Amino acid sequence: MELLITNNPLAKSMLNEKYEVIHINSDLVGVLIYCRNKIHEGHKLLTHPLSGSIKPNENPYKSVILSKKTKETDTQSVKIIEEAIITAKKFPKIHINPQYDEDYRMIDVSLVVRE
């Protein structure tokens, strides 16, 4: 089963039957670092870690789909996740309006749902 790495409670509840969900209590950079560690264990990126046109500091939620574990480290996935971490760290943290929390969660889910 593919992995869904997320800090989004909505993604966890909506997608737990389709993916093996790993919910972590972290910000975007923490999610990306967790994904990087899984990639080094042999998983491959199946969704881009900075998908959509939303800047890394505009949504507190992030979900990334990884493949089942393979025997080799995918160098392309390593390159992409490392660049995503560097990019995410460049953006200053901004105040996210809690009034839109449910919207942020739904946007994140919509970026990883695959038919």
Summarised one tens digit per residue, pLDDT across range 70-79 is 889 999 999 9
- Nearest alpha carbon to residue 107 among 58, 66, 36, 65: 58
Q: What is the CA radius of gyration of the chain?
A: 13
Per-residue pLDDT at 22: 98
With a CB cutoff of 8 Å and minimum separation 6, the contacts of 35 are: 5, 45, 49, 64, 66, 81
Domain parsing of the chain, residue ranges: 3-112
22-72 pLDDT per residue, tens:
999 999 999 999 999 999 999 999 999 998 888 888 999 999 999 999 889
